[in-house]
Amino acid sequence: MNLVYPAIFYADDESSAYAVVVPDLPGCVSGGNSLSEAIAMGEDAASGW
């Protein structure tokens, strides 16, 4: 069964990096040097939660 959780992405004003937070999964936070990397890292963090 696949569950879908909303994610919030925050762009760093000084670089191309992004942070990602999954509010429904306490402590599920990740990030990446690009939006596509942050998406992949967020998926990985949520799947291991």
pLDDT digit string (tens) for the chain, length 49 residues: 788 999 999 999 999 999 999 999 999 999 999 999 999 999 999 998 8
Domain housing 39 = 8-47
The residue to which tokens 């191309």 are assigned: 16
With respect to residue 1, please indicate whether it lies within any of the assigned structural domains. Answer: no
Q: What is the pTM of this model?
A: 0.86
With respect to residue 40, please indicate whether it lies within any of the assigned structural domains. Answer: yes
Please tell me the total count of domains within the chain: 1
With respect to residue 36, please indicate whether it lies within any of the assigned structural domains. Answer: yes
With respect to residue 29, please indicate whether it lies within any of the assigned structural domains. Answer: yes
Strands laid side by side in the 8-11 sheet: 8-11, 18-21, 29-32
With respect to residue 3, please indicate whether it lies within any of the assigned structural domains. Answer: no
Supply the pLDDT for residue 33: 98
Alpha-helix runs per DSSP H in 1-49: 35-47
